[in-house]
Structure 1
């Protein structure tokens, strides 16, 4: 988050939560202005003004009973002296934007410091939730990347995977599955034939995964991903004789889940989302037909599996 965004966030939350009124404070030479907040506290007119280390001493202190400078810095080293006049040190609260923390708050300003502290904690919670929303997607991407690294090391080639290595690691091979190696229906979805194959699939997973993870929740997301991937492998086993690998079947399942979401929530998200998803599906089907060595039956199996399992898992009250 940029300094300006950090400052806007603080101003908005102080205004919304603690009834401060937004105002404008000018520099001593009247050439620039600063955001401020004013409020009457205990029969005193208090003003908070947001500054940085370059302009902290260049602000016109208007006639308030309490004039408090909120100094926002980045990567504060507490050993570094600050250019604040000694007589004003009790009127300054220092924040570290990068550490999302209060570096200095005098005892006299503990009430305001407590308000800012609660807002900083709230911001931290928001950031944690954002990260948590994509945890499963990031985990799946990580697993795919690790297995590709193993494949590349065994293949002695970072750009193209040796077919013998892929078979050894669990690619879908019809003859071996017929002999009882059913685990290949699962392991095949984590293997990739080359660096470009991996990059394209991981980009698609990165683009689609967070939406499905947020909409359906982490457990249902995993169920959709793995069942769609398994059905993709089954379709490939039944209708395609070639060796097959890749996460694209499971990713087509996420497209199916997105389609169900768009249809169910069309009154809230708009019909345009459904059209866009159908368009993306159509483009991918066309690419699959036009280009060689693409397991279209696996893609269709993943899409159908994703639609069916998402429809079963969907609850009408998920967004109520």
Structure 2
């Protein structure tokens, strides 16, 4: 976030959540203007103006009868530099660090404003943390995007947003044993990105979003891709060998991620405890049980996904395991 954007964010959030009015102040020479916020309380009009170290002393303090509070925004370029503030101003200055997203200094008499700003900075840290998480999980987000895009395409051709036409699914690459036997081996891969209905898609994408970032973090992006596709292909091969029906869905690859997580948890059990191993085994067991009790579930595909994920993750190994 750029310095100007950071100040704008603070101004916007303060005005939105604490009922400040946005205002504009001039520099002493009248050449520049600075954004601020103001609010009247107990008959006193208090104005917070957002500045940097270069213009901290250039704002006109004589504008209108109001109490002026300077908010000094530090950034990466000047955060370690000595900030020269006149002694008479020290109790009217709040200092925030944009780079570290933290409140650096707030005099006791301004603690009300400091507390408000602190809560906003905490919120901003949470938002930025979510952005960093999404950035780190770029492969998972990309896989979800491909699956959603393919569903939109099949929904358009099926003329139905809730359920996909089986003929459309076959046309776009569903696993069909007879066609694979004729040499259409690409179906072992394309079937991973097709879904039979909106509920099917949502459940699989939720599972991928919940599990994918963990596997992506502990194995790294390249190994994660290898595990995902290898597990998905092994899942399709198991389905081809042991199931006659048409098969589609990302669940085989997702079961492969469960297998990879199981391998990681087992090898790291002395450091992270055996609870994670038990939890993953429970999830796998519950899903297999659900698959056995519900119709139209490709259990052999799921089994192949788990086996494929375990075998491949044993080969590539997590970057955290030494």
The TM-score normalised by the length of structure 2 is: 0.65
- Partner of 1:119: helix, strand, or coil? coil
Structure 1 residues 298 and 117, CA gap change in structure 2 (3 angstroms): same
> Alpha-carbon deviation of 1:57?
8.1
Q: Does structure 1 residue 118 correspond to structure 2 residue 99?
A: yes
* Structure-2 residue corresponding to 1:306: 309
For residues 178-201 of structure 1, the C-alpha deviation after alignment (integer angstroms, 9 at most, x for no partner) is 111000000000001111111111
* Alpha-carbon separation, structure 1, partners of 2:157 and 2:285: 36
Equivalent residues, number: 239
Matches within 5 A, 1:195-274: 195-274=198-277
For residues 146-202 of structure 1, the C-alpha deviation after alignment (integer angstroms, 9 at most, x for no partner) is 111111111111111111100000000111111110000000000011111111111
Q: Does structure 1 residue 181 correspond to structure 2 residue 194?
A: no
The TM-score normalised by the length of structure 1 is: 0.66
* Structure-2 residue corresponding to 1:167: 170
* Alpha-carbon separation, structure 2, partners of 1:217 and 1:55: 54
* Structure-1 residue corresponding to 2:299: 296
* Structure-1 residue corresponding to 2:110: none
Structure 1 residues 108 and 143, CA gap change in structure 2 (3 angstroms): same
* Structure-1 residue corresponding to 2:70: 92
> Alpha-carbon deviation of 1:128?
4.7
Structure 1 residues 115 and 174, CA gap change in structure 2 (3 angstroms): same
Structure 1 residues 116 and 250, CA gap change in structure 2 (3 angstroms): same
Structure 2: unaligned runs, 5 residues or longer: 1-5, 7-36, 51-62, 74-82, 87-92, 103-123
For residues 249-296 of structure 1, the C-alpha deviation after alignment (integer angstroms, 9 at most, x for no partner) is 000001001111111121232211111100000000001111111111
Q: 2:152 aligns with which of 143, 149, 152?
A: 149
Q: 1:318 aligns with which of 310, 317, 320?
A: 320
Structure 1 residues 179 and 55, CA gap change in structure 2 (3 angstroms): farther
Contact 2:267 2:321 in 1 (8 A): no
> Alpha-carbon deviation of 1:210?
1.0
